[in-house]
Amino acid sequence: MTDTHNGKSSRRSWLASVLMGVGLLASYGTLAGQTLSFLLPTGLAKRKRRIFVGPVEAFPTDAVRPIRDLEGNEVLVKRTKDGFQAFSSTCPHLGCKVRWEADETRFFCPCHNGVFNADGVAISGPPADAGQSLYPAPLFVDDKNQVVYLEVDVPR
């Protein structure tokens, strides 16, 4: 009777030890995962996604059309016979809104008269003095299906 009792007690003790070990491993594993996600650069915790912008034919040649990214930021999409380019409409100088001036074939920032050529390169005003060009926005054009996408970072 004593042996059986000791045997059950020993099995319970062994099972309790195993369960405690599994619990500790799960806890430390979770802690290690949380620590790594905190320490890793945020760029590693993001992935690229393509968001649908529209069919190619929705963008007239030699024109600029504004669109919005997932965060509501304006992106200026320019189409020429050579293809597409896209830029943030946020001025790299102090963040005012840049607009396309078709008659001058340039981007213009009214806050401090910043001027950018059609490729987004600053050519006069404070952005030119500081060598600040427009921020490019990555586009993907699916030539086969004739669809334009904006590439954005999204959290994992």
Which residues would be at the binding site for ligand FES (CB under 6 A)? 91, 93-94, 96, 109, 111-112, 114, 125-127
How near is the Cβ of 153 to ligand FES at its closest, in Å?
Answer: 24
Q: How far is CA 23 from CA 38, 113, 125, in A?
A: 23, 64, 63
Is the CB of 16 or the CB of 130 nearer to ligand FES? 130
Contact between 149 and 51 (Cβ < 8 Å): yes
- In our burial notation (b when 16+ CB lie closer than 10 A, e otherwise), range 41-71 reads eeeeeeeeeeeebeeeeebeeeebbebebee
How near is the Cβ of 102 to ligand FES at its closest, in Å?
Answer: 19
Cα–Cα distance for residue pair 144/131, rounded to 1 Å: 37
Is the CB of 62 or the CB of 129 nearer to ligand FES? 129
Cα–Cα distance for residue pair 1/6, rounded to 1 Å: 9
Is the CB of 54 or the CB of 126 nearer to ligand FES? 126
How near is the Cβ of 136 to ligand FES at its closest, in Å?
Answer: 17
Is the CB of 56 or the CB of 111 nearer to ligand FES? 111
How near is the Cβ of 48 to ligand FES at its closest, in Å?
Answer: 28
With vertex at residue 97, the alpha carbon angle to CA 95 and CA 98, rounded to the nearest 5 degrees, is: 110
- State the residue number with the nearest CB to ligand FES: 114
How near is the Cβ of 143 to ligand FES at its closest, in Å?
Answer: 34
Is the CB of 124 or the CB of 151 nearer to ligand FES? 124
Cα–Cα distance for residue pair 101/124, rounded to 1 Å: 15
